[in-house]
Amino acid sequence: MTLGPLKLTPVHVEKPWGGWALGRLFGRPLSDGARIGESWEVSDRPEAQSRVAEGPQKDRTLAELRRTFGEDLLGSVATAISPGRFPLLIKWIDARELLSVQVHPDDEAARALGEPDPGKAEAWIVADATPGARMVYGLRERMTGEAVRAAAESGGLEPCLGWVTAQPGDCFMVPPGAVHALGAGIVLYEVQQNSNITYRLWDWGRTGTDGRPRDLHLSQAEAVLDGGFSPQGPVPPIRVSLGEGSRRFAVACSHFAVEILEIPPSGSMADRCDGRSFHALTVWSGSGEIVWEGNRPSRLSLSPGETVLVPACAGDYHLTSASGLKVIKSFVPDLDADVITPLRRAGVAEEDIRRILY
C-alpha cells in the first residue's frame, strides 16, 4: 500500500502559564477552565504520541508508523540524521504568562551530560502577539557561564537578560546555548529537535502547584549556555514567487528547515516528497485541500491549525486554496539541495542566504 499524507490529531498539554488562544485562533474545542499551553502537532515521544485522525492508518501512532514504514515515512536524509527516532517535535505554544528562563544543550553536550535525548535546536514562528509583547532572547552583555549562574543564585539574573519585541510573522532561531524565555501574550509555532531537555535558570520567583519554588538546573545550564548570544531581531525571511503563490524560506539548519507557503484564493501550489524527507504541513490560516495521486487520486481537507504529515515516499502533491491558504512547512533538509541551490537559482544574494542558515 502506498503511504499517503496523514492528518494528525493534536495532543493538548495543560500548563499553568497556558491559555485559551488555540480555541480563539483555530476554533478548537477546549475543556472548560483548561489552560492549554502546548499543542503537540507532530510528536513521537513516550509521553505523547501523535495519532492519525482519519483514513487507512486511522488511530495508529507515529511510533507505530515509524516502525512499520521506516525510511518510506522518514526519508533517507531524516533517517541518517536521527537514526531510530522521529527527528522533530512540532508544537503550537500559547504563552498567556511569562515562561521560565531556559537554555538547551547541543547534541555533544547532551551526550556528555548523560541525557537520553539529543540536544535541542528550535525555531519559533510568531503566529499571534498582543501589542508590545516581548521575550527574552539572549543576554544584554557577554557573560561567562559562571557569572550567569552566580546571578541566578543571588536572584539578580533579571537585569542581565536581553529582551526583543515579537510580532506576528516574526521568525526566531533559538540555537543550543541561547538563554531565552517566551513572553506573555505570544502564540507561536515551534519546530525543534525531538528532545525534551530544558535547563531552567530562573522562574521569576514563582512557586509551583505545591507552593514551593520550581527546580532550577544551574550546573547544567552553566555548562551549556552561550554567554555571547545577545539580543537580535528576527530572521529576515526570503520570499520566492511560485506561480500563483509564494514560498518564504524562514530558517534552516542541519536538523530542520522551515518555510511558509502562501496560496491565494482558488490558487494551488505543487510540491514533492522525493524520498529524502517527510513534510510536516500545518495550516496557519485559511482553508483548502491537499491532493495527491498514489494508487488513485486522493485528498484531505485543510482547516486552520490542522497538521498533515506527508511521508517521504508520497511523491507529488498539490495544495489548493479555498479562501487563501497559509501553511508552515517543516522538514529535514539537505541544506545545499533544498535551500542554498534553489535560492541561488532564484537570484538571491549570498549574504541573504547566509542570514537564514544556522
Question: pLDDT for 63-112, tens place per residue?
Answer: 999 999 999 999 999 999 999 999 999 999 999 999 999 999 999 999 99
Average pLDDT, the chain: 95
Cite the active site residues: 200
Class of domain 6-224: mainly beta
User: Is 176 within 8 Å of 224 (Cβ atoms)?
Assistant: yes
CA distances, 313 to each of 9, 73, 211, 259, 276 (Å): 21, 6, 50, 20, 8
What residues does CATH 2.60.120.10 cover in the chain? 6-224, 238-356
User: Position of cell 541518517?
Assistant: 80
| pLDDT value of residue 127 | 97
What is the CATH code of the structural domain delimited by 238-356? 2.60.120.10
Residue 166 near residue 256, CB atoms below 8 Å: no
209 pLDDT higher than 90: no
pTM: 0.95
Question: How much of the chain, in percent, has pLDDT values that exceed 70?
Answer: 98
Q: Phi and psi dihedrals of 83, rounded to 5? A: -65, 135
Q: Distance of CA 333 to CAs 21, 214, 251, 255, 330, Å?
A: 31, 37, 11, 7, 9
- Cell numbers 531565552 correspond to 180
pLDDT band, residue 31 (cuts 50/70/90): confident
